[in-house]
Structure 1
Amino acid sequence: MTTLTGSPANAPGHAPAAPTARGRGLRLSGATWLVWRQHRAAYCTLIAFTLLTIALIAYQRMGMLEYLDRYDWPHPKSEEWQLGFQPYTSEFNRTGLALAAVPVLLGVFVGAPLLAADLENGTAKLVTSQAITRVRWLAMKLGITALVVTVGTTALSLAFNWWWAPIKGKETSFPWHEALAFNNTGPVPVALSLLSLVGGVAIGMLLRRTLMAMVVTLGFTVTVQFVWASFLIDLGNSARVASEGLAWESLPALPPGAYEMDRSYVTGSGELLGWSTCAREPSDAAMAACQQKADLFGWSTEYLPISQMTGMQWSGAAILLGMTAAIAAFILLWGRKRLA
């Protein structure tokens, strides 16, 4: 004879025991799990690259600050600190060039194969024949990949800006209006990366061949970088400052970190003439006579203050993200009927 010390779990009149949550964490399921499983190698590579790069930046920043502390930074008593700063400038340039290539690599190696590989090997037809719709499958593919890219590039942007901030606007630093600084800080690297990624996805969807899509995407991303570099200065609103006197010592002083766009002579009537006016005169006396005849009064300099950098970056990023949204909408509309 046995004695029961508890009621059976499935006995009549007793509710079944609730499943235990022990050992369970955040788990992916359905389409989310499928997309992550399919592209986990690319996602993990992006995450690992981001973490390693941030660690490298932190190490380089620590060395730079140790050097600057020897000169009582941020208020050095002399400019001697610039003499030995070249190795740190070289580190900035190398890391900046590597980060500038990230959007191109994302477009070629992540964006282009994202759909092209599935269309080429027939996976797309298999997936879309299941309960999941084409639009949902495309949205999951784009959404999860874009999320990983956004988080990674945002972290890299913050880290690079954190490294550059102590010497931002200094002569030893690379100019803020050039690609190495402008495209690696703020929202710009995120926007460029997403445009390259989504552009690669669209190219892969249309071409349906992975290798061909990667080659075409390489051309697309490089073209985007080239056009963007030639366009970004136009995002700012330039200012002018004038001074009296025609000697070089009379040139107007610019705010710290300002980018000089143009230098001209200004006449007594306010007209601007090129700085080469009277430059070919054979003697100082002839040059003085030419300047007097042209009624030259002083110098005028057109420049962009460094304070405009943040506004220019957000304006440019808005344009890039608008283009990205348009391409993403095209992918969803096209793929809804013609994907598989």
Structure 2
Amino acid sequence: MSTLTSTRIPAGTEPVRRGPRLGGLNWLVWHQHRAAFWTLIALTVLAVGWMTYQRGQLTDQLESIAGWPHPKADDWDMKVDSGWLTWTGAALGFIPVVVGVFLGAPLVAGDLENGTAKLVASQSVSRVRWLATKLGITALVVVPLTVVLSLVFDWWWQPVKDRPTVLDWTSGTGFDTTGPVPVALTLFTLVGGVAIGMLLRRTLLSMVVTLGFAVAVQLVWSYIRLDLADIVTVTTRNGVGNENDFPRLPGSAYAVDQSYLAANGDLIGWGSCAEATQKATDACLKDKQVIGWSVDYIPFSQMSSMQWFGASVLFALTAATTVFVLFWGRRRLV
């Protein structure tokens, strides 16, 4: 007769599992969207590797043509090949659109469409907690990845950041891909996509509408970007006949507008005396009593403050949209 030997582990000697573990609702949300999360992580790793390699290529180029970090020629930046820097910055600008369309829109719309939301509502987990967990886990994935991409791109751009001839710092390619701006834009588009999906309740339709929403956000942002600055005006009263009469702006400053300054203080469009001959131009300037220039510009030193000001507005909009998602979901999710 055979006997069975007990293999029960004595109390107190069970192996201890170390390290963070997801459980319950957190695990469910991660498991449900793990394909999208891992795809974002993999793409971020590839992008970081690419930008790190290109940073090395840029520094090698600067050392060979300009003697960087102490260039001897003033026009060394004209020889810098900025093709990959510009192309990569433009590609990173699509991150908010991609995240909003492919992650934000289906996040809740998919559950509403396939009936998962009803199943969740019938359990002990509240609707608000379910929505908050979905938004929280997704944000914990998206925000660090976006921050890393922003920091690495800024690190790549840093040696030539103050040279608009290489990459204009007021353009979306540079301004919108560094600092807090890409994080703010991505979060706003993400939460906006979730809200759209929750209202429309159809995945494909929500993705299409979110695409339009994301593009609209980018267009509006590009239109108001320079309005975030505190415009500085400089005037001269030395005439306008010579090149040296034009006011000298700080390095890397962005000239917003320039006008002629009349003796009575009025501003005249600089193209109003663009005559066919120099003699006719001089006569026009004399007739209008032009005595100098007036130039509006944005100093390069304002870039960081402009980014944080704009990002704070986007963060506020994101918070308001999140409150709407939670409030609507609590009452009308299913």
Q: Above 0.5 in TM-score? A: yes
C-alpha spacing 1:116/1:248, structure 2 compared with 1 (3 Å) = farther
Bigger CA radius of gyration:
1
C-alpha spacing 1:137/1:248, structure 2 compared with 1 (3 Å) = farther
Partner of 1:318: 312
Q: Segments of 4+ in structure 1 off by > 3 A?
A: 79-84, 282-286
- Please tell me whether residue 259 in structure 1 is matched to residue 254 in structure 2: yes
- Please tell me whether residue 26 in structure 1 is matched to residue 20 in structure 2: yes
Partner of 2:272: 277
Gaps of 5+ in 2: 1-7
How far is the alpha carbon of 1:246 from its aligned partner? Answer: 1.0
Partner of 2:170: 177
Distance 1:9 1:51 in 2: 42
Distance 2:242 2:258 in 1: 11
- What aligned pairs does 1:1-340 form with structure 2 within 5 A after superposition? 16-17=11-12, 19-21=14-16, 23-70=17-64, 71-79=66-74, 81-82=76-77, 84-86=79-81, 89-243=82-236, 244-249=238-243, 250-280=245-275, 282-340=276-334
| CA distances 1:28-57 after superposition (whole Å, capped 9, x unpaired) | 101000001101111111111111111110
| CA distances 1:102-154 after superposition (whole Å, capped 9, x unpaired) | 10000000000000010000011112211111100000000110111111101
C-alpha spacing 1:211/1:324, structure 2 compared with 1 (3 Å) = same
Distance 1:64 1:235 in 2: 31
* Conservation of the 8 A alpha-carbon contact between 2:48 and 2:152: yes
How far is the alpha carbon of 1:238 from its aligned partner? Answer: 0.8
The code of the aligned residue for 2:128 comes to: V
How far is the alpha carbon of 1:287 from its aligned partner? Answer: 2.8
How far is the alpha carbon of 1:175 from its aligned partner? Answer: 0.9
Q: Is the partner of 2:292 in helix, strand or coil?
A: strand
| CA distances 1:269-299 after superposition (whole Å, capped 9, x unpaired) | 322111023223x543333232222111011
The code of the aligned residue for 1:257 comes to: S
| CA distances 1:54-102 after superposition (whole Å, capped 9, x unpaired) | 111000000100111122212211146445422xx11011101110001
C-alpha spacing 1:295/1:216, structure 2 compared with 1 (3 Å) = same
Q: CA RMSD, aligned part only? A: 1.6
* Conservation of the 8 A alpha-carbon contact between 2:78 and 2:165: no
Distance 1:73 1:212 in 2: 52
Aligned residues: 324
How far is the alpha carbon of 1:9 from its aligned partner? Answer: 8.2
Give the TM-score normalised by structure 2. 0.93
Q: Is the partner of 2:326 in helix, strand or coil?
A: helix
Distance 2:331 2:215 in 1: 31
Q: Is the partner of 1:19 in helix, strand or coil?
A: coil
How far is the alpha carbon of 1:177 from its aligned partner? Answer: 0.8
Gaps of 5+ in 1: 1-7, 11-15
The code of the aligned residue for 1:76 comes to: P
C-alpha spacing 1:323/1:248, structure 2 compared with 1 (3 Å) = farther
| CA distances 1:148-186 after superposition (whole Å, capped 9, x unpaired) | 111110111101111111101214322111100110000
Q: Is the partner of 2:294 in helix, strand or coil?
A: strand
Q: Is the partner of 2:84 in helix, strand or coil?
A: helix
Give the TM-score normalised by structure 1. 0.91
The code of the aligned residue for 1:224 comes to: V
**Which has the larger displacement, 37-46 or 163-172?**
163-172
Distance 2:277 2:195 in 1: 63
Distance 1:154 1:172 in 2: 26
Distance 2:9 2:254 in 1: 77
Partner of 1:5: none
Partner of 1:4: none
- Give identity over the alignment, percent: 51
